[in-house]
Structure 1
Amino acid sequence: MTVKLSLATLPDLPANVARPDYDRASLRAGIVHFGVGNFHRSHQAVYLDELLNSGQGHDWAIVGAGVFDGEKAGRARLAEQDWLTTVVEQDSGHMSARVTAAMVDFLMPGDAAAIIERLADPAIRIVSLTITEGGYFIDPASGLFNPTHPDIVADARNIAAPKTVFGIILAGLRRRRQDGIVPFTVMSCDNIPHNGRVTADAVIGLARLVDESFADWVRDTVAFPNSMVDRITPATTDRERGILASDFGVDDNWPVFCEPFKQWVMEDRFTDGRPALEKVGVQFVHDVAPFELMKIRILNGGHATIAYPAGLMDIHFVHEAMENPLVRAFLAKLEREEIMPTVPPVPGVVLEEYCQLIERRFSNPKIGDTVRRLCLDGSNRQPKFIIPTIADRLEAGGGITGLALESALWCRYCFGTTDSGAVIEPNDPNWTRLQATARAAREAPGAWLAMEDIYGEVGKSAPFAAAFAHGLDALWALGTGETLTRYLGDSL
C-alpha cells in the first residue's frame, strides 16, 4: 500500500520518510525560479527546505515559473501533489527519502503577464534560474551574448509581451523601476563559467536593444551573483517512481533521485537581502571563479570524458562506465595529464583529493545516472566544459592528445551509430547538423573542426587538428576499445 503524496497525506507517510517540520501555509514567497526541473528540486529547493526546517527564512519560499509549453507537464505533475517533491538520496551504503515543501506555487509556463505581475511584487527579492547551458543565448565560439538571436530580437521589438526568460525578467524589472521598487537579484544556478556575468550580459544586452538608459539602470542597480552548484541528479523515469513506491511507500508523480553530495558556492552580492543559506552549508565567498573553474573542468569535463566512449560501447549507466577499466583509466589519465594542470589553486581544496571524490561520485551504483544524459547537448556543453581547456593547453604548449581524442569521440558519437552498429537516437538540439558534419568528417576530419561557432580559434590550430584527425581515424579503423587501449599505452 502506497500513500499518494499531498499536503493532506503528509501525516500518513511512512515513518522512514522525512517530512517538513514547518507549516507550509505559514510560508511567504520571496523567490521566483525559472526552470523547475530535477536539479533545482534536488539542490536549491533542498537547501531552502533545510533552512525552513530550522525555523528561519519563512519569507523565502519559491514560486516556479517557465516559458516553454513542455514545462506544463511537470507543473501538472506537481500541482496534483500541492507542489511537494520527494527527494531520495542514495549511494552504495545509504538511501533516504524526504519530502520538501519549499515551493508554494508554480505559475503557468508561458503566461508572461502573470509572471511579470509576480516579479513586480516587492515580496519577490530573488529571481533564480536553472535553464540549462543552452538557455543563455551565448555564441559558443566567442562565449558572449548573441543580441542577434531571433528570439532576442523579437523580445526587443515587443518587450511588453516577451517570450524569453530574459525578456520576462526585464519586463519585471521595468515594472519595479516604474513603481519605485528595489530591483530583485538575478541568481543563475546553471553550470556555466561566470554564470552571474553571463546572466547580466543577457539581461543588460537585451535591455540595450530596448532603451539605453534602462540598460544603464539595470547595470547599476541589479545584482547578478556568480555561483558554483553541484549535485548529480539524473532524470526521473518509471524506475525511480517504482523504487520510491516499493522501498518507501510513497506515490509521487515526479520524485527526484540524487547523490548525497551537494555543494553551493556563491558570491554574497544581493540587492535586497537573501536567505541565511550559510546556516545550511552554502559557502559565501568573495570570488567564486576558482571553485567554478575546478568544478566545470574536472567534474563536467570528466562527465564528457566518460560519456562518449561509454556511449559508443553501448554502456547504459554511468556507474557501469566507471566499472569498465578502459573508460575509468581514460578518465584518470586525461584528468591528471591534461585537465587538472589547467586548474589554478583553489582555496582550501587539494585538487587530487577533489578528483578522487569525483571518481567516487561517478562510480555510485545507486544513482542510476545514464550515459545518454551525459552525452546530451554536446554542442552547448563542449564549448563550455572542454574546448576552453584545449585552448589553455595549446597556449601553454602542453599536450592535447587526450583532449583531441575526447573531441573525436564526440564526433564519432554524433555520426549516429555505436561500435556495434546500434542506432544512436538524436541527442542534441543541433543533431541534424552535427550528424551531417560527423559523416563528412569520416573522410575529411577538418569538416568537424570547421564548425567555428563551436570550436572558434581552437579548430584552426594545426597541432589540435592533426591530433583530432589521428584520433578520429583510429576510432573508425580500430574501434573505441582498441583506440583507448593504445592511448592508455601511449602508443596512439
Structure 2
Amino acid sequence: MTRTVALPAYDRKALTPGIVHIGVGNFHRAHQAVYLDDLFALGEGHDWGILGAGVRPTDARMREALAAQDNLSTVIELDPAGHRARRVGAMIGFLPVEADNAALIEAMSDPRIRIVSLTVTEGGYYVDASGAFDPTHPDIVADAARPSAPATAFGAILAALRARRAAGVAPFTVMSCDNLPGNGHVTRSAVVGLAELLDAELAAWVKSHVAFPNGMVDRITPATGPHERDLAQGFGLTDPVPVTCEPFRQWVVEDHFPAGRPALEKVGVTFTPHVHAYEAMKIRILNGGHAVIAYPSALMDIEFVHEAMANPLVAAFLHRIEVEEILPHVPPVPDTSIPAYLSLIESRFSNPEIADTTRRLCLDGSNRQPKFIVPSLRDNLAAGRMPKGLVLLSALWCRYCFGTTDSGQVVAPNDPNWSALQERSKRARANPADWLAMTEVYGDLGRHPALVGEFGAALEAVWRDGAEAVLRRFLAE
C-alpha cells in the first residue's frame, strides 16, 4: 500500500516571490525551503516565495527536473521510527541558468526580492588559507573584466545591487546558508572585494547599505542516488531528485534584515546576536567530526556513516578526539550543554536510516579541512598541546588522497583539486613535510617543527600498518 505524502497546506498560487536562492541543492530543499513551507502552512509570509537560481551546469539539470514537477521537492525524513515524506512547495519558480546570468540579475533587481540567499558550498566563496577573499582568482578576475555579464554568483549579486542603486530601490539582504565560519562576513568580503575591483564608490555603498547576516545551518542531507529514488517510489512518487534527510534540523541567524524577513521564529528558527558561538560548536564538533570518521573509515572500506559509527575503533577515535582536542576549544553557547551536543551528534551519525556515505564526507577535503579541522589544530598548538589525534587525521587524509584504500581499492577523484592532491600525497610518502606545505590548507603550520615531526611519524605509520592498526594503537596510548 502506498504511504501518505504530506502536501503543501496552503495555496501555492497565492505565493509571490520575496527570496532568490542561488544553489538549489539537496541541503537547501531540506532546510530553508522546509522552514518556509512550514511558515506558509501557518497562513503567514506568503510574499516570501522562493525563486530558485544557479550559476553552474548542474543547476540547469536540477531546474529541468524540478520544472517537470511544478517545482515541488520531495523531502523524506529518515527517522528510525518511520519514514515521513512531504512535497515542499515553497519554491514557486526556477530562473533560467545562463552563462551571463541575465535572468538572475533581472530577478534580483525586482523590488519584491528582499533576500538573496546562497548555498554554493564551502569552496564557492573564493577565499585563501587565511579565510580572506582572493581577488586574484581567475573567476573573480573574469567577472571584474565583464561586470555586466558575470559568471559567478557574487558577480550577479553585485550587478543586481548596482541596478537597484541606480533605480533608487533599496538593496536586498544577502544571506549565506553555507557551513562557513562567519558566513555572512565571508559573503560580504566576496561582494565588497569584487566591487572594489570595479568601483570604489560602489564598494563603499555596499559596505554601508547591504546587510550580510551570519547564520548557522544544520541538517544531515545525503546525496541523491538510486536508494533515495527507490524510497520516493515507495511513497508512490516518481521523482528523479528526491531529498532524504535526518529528522533533526537547526537554523540560527543574526536578526539583521533591513529590507524585512519572514517570521521564521514561528517555525523554530533562532534569531540571536550569538551566532558565532552556535557556529563554532557546530562546525568544529559536527563538521569536524565528520572528517574524523570519514578518512579512516574510507581507508578501511566502510561505505556508510552508520556502519563507521558501529565500528568500535572509529567511534572511539571520534569520541576521544572530540573530548580531548575539539571540545576544550569550543566557546560556551547560550542555553546549551557542549557535552550533550556531542552526544546528540554521535546519535545522529549513528542513524542507520540516513545511509549517508563516507565518500560524501571525504568530498572536498581541500576546502573543508581549513575550515573544520585546522582551527582546532591551531588552537591546540597555541595552548602548548600537540593534538595527536588531529595530526593522525591529517595523515589519514593525505593517505586517502593517494587514491587507494588499504585493501587496494581505487578511490575515484573526490576533490576539485584531486590531481594536485594525489601528486602531493605521492611526494609526501617520501617527504611528509610536503603535505603540510599546502599553505592554502595549513597556512603557516607547515613551519611548526614539532607538528611536522608528529605528522611524519603518523603518515609513516599509516602507510606501514594501515588505518585499522594506527587507530588501535592511538586508542591504546
Matches within 5 A, 1:251-262: 251-262=238-249
Distance, in Å, in 2 between the alignment partners of 1:284 and 1:467 is: 42
1:165 maps to what in 2? 153
Distance, in Å, in 1 between the alignment partners of 2:82 and 2:160 is: 43
Amino acid in the other structure paired with 1:441: A
2:104 maps to what in 1? 115
**Contact 1:182/1:271 (<8 A) preserved:** no
2:266 maps to what in 1? 279
Asked if 1:176 corresponds to 2:164, the answer is yes
1:191 maps to what in 2? 179
Distance, in Å, in 2 between the alignment partners of 1:81 and 1:464 is: 53
Amino acid in the other structure paired with 2:151: K
Distance, in Å, in 1 between the alignment partners of 2:352 and 2:222 is: 13
**Contact 2:74/2:87 (<8 A) preserved:** yes
Distance, in Å, in 1 between the alignment partners of 2:254 and 2:450 is: 38
**Contact 2:102/2:149 (<8 A) preserved:** yes
2:6 maps to what in 1? 18
SS at match of 2:252: strand
Distance, in Å, in 1 between the alignment partners of 2:165 and 2:153 is: 18
Among 4, 23, 29, the alignment partner of 1:35 is 23
Distance, in Å, in 1 between the alignment partners of 2:396 and 2:96 is: 40
> What are the Cα deviations for residues 357-388 of structure 1, in whole angstroms up to 9, with x where unaligned?
00000000001111000000000000000011
SS at match of 1:138: coil
Distance, in Å, in 1 between the alignment partners of 2:81 and 2:310 is: 18
Amino acid in the other structure paired with 2:8: P
Among 351, 364, 373, the alignment partner of 1:364 is 351
Among 27, 43, 62, the alignment partner of 2:50 is 62
2:113 maps to what in 1? 124
1:298 maps to what in 2? 285
Distance, in Å, in 2 between the alignment partners of 1:323 and 1:351 is: 23
**Contact 1:194/1:289 (<8 A) preserved:** yes
**Contact 1:321/1:327 (<8 A) preserved:** yes
SS at match of 2:21: strand
1:105 maps to what in 2? 93
After superposition, the Cα gap between the structure-2 partners of 1:15 and 1:322, relative to the gap in structure 1 and judged at 3 Å, is closer
Distance, in Å, in 1 between the alignment partners of 2:4 and 2:377 is: 48
Amino acid in the other structure paired with 1:363: S
Matches within 5 A, 1:87-98: 87-98=75-86
Distance, in Å, in 2 between the alignment partners of 1:95 and 1:66 is: 30
Distance, in Å, in 1 between the alignment partners of 2:91 and 2:251 is: 19
SS at match of 1:62: strand
**Contact 2:285/2:327 (<8 A) preserved:** yes
Distance, in Å, in 1 between the alignment partners of 2:280 and 2:444 is: 20
- Count of aligned pairs: 476
2:332 maps to what in 1? 345
1:382 maps to what in 2? 369
Asked if 1:485 corresponds to 2:477, the answer is no
C-alpha deviation, 1:306, in angstroms: 0.2
1:85 maps to what in 2? 73
Amino acid in the other structure paired with 2:401: C
Distance, in Å, in 2 between the alignment partners of 1:479 and 1:236 is: 31
**Contact 1:228/1:292 (<8 A) preserved:** yes
Using structure 2 for the length normalisation, give the TM-score. 0.99
2:209 maps to what in 1? 221
1:5 maps to what in 2? none
2:39 maps to what in 1? 51
Using structure 1 for the length normalisation, give the TM-score. 0.96
**Contact 2:386/2:451 (<8 A) preserved:** no
Matches within 5 A, 1:408-447: 408-447=395-434
SS at match of 1:334: helix
SS at match of 2:430: coil
> What are the Cα deviations for residues 93-118 of structure 1, in whole angstroms up to 9, with x where unaligned?
13101111000111112251111111
Runs of 5+ unmatched residues, structure 2: none
**Contact 2:3/2:236 (<8 A) preserved:** no
C-alpha deviation, 1:275, in angstroms: 0.3
SS at match of 1:403: helix
Distance, in Å, in 1 between the alignment partners of 2:267 and 2:121 is: 25
Identity of aligned residues (%): 60
Runs of 5+ unmatched residues, structure 1: 2-13
RMSD: 1.0
C-alpha deviation, 1:312, in angstroms: 0.1
C-alpha deviation, 1:70, in angstroms: 2.1
Asked if 1:137 corresponds to 2:123, the answer is no
SS at match of 2:394: helix
2:305 maps to what in 1? 318
> What are the Cα deviations for residues 369-422 of structure 1, in whole angstroms up to 9, with x where unaligned?
110000000000000000111111111112310010010000000010000000
SS at match of 1:20: coil
Please list every run of at least 4 consecutive aligned residues from structure 1 whose deviation after the TM superposition is greater than 3 angstroms.
none
Asked if 1:250 corresponds to 2:237, the answer is yes
Distance, in Å, in 2 between the alignment partners of 1:47 and 1:307 is: 29
SS at match of 2:248: coil
C-alpha deviation, 1:15, in angstroms: 6.4
Distance, in Å, in 1 between the alignment partners of 2:447 and 2:475 is: 27
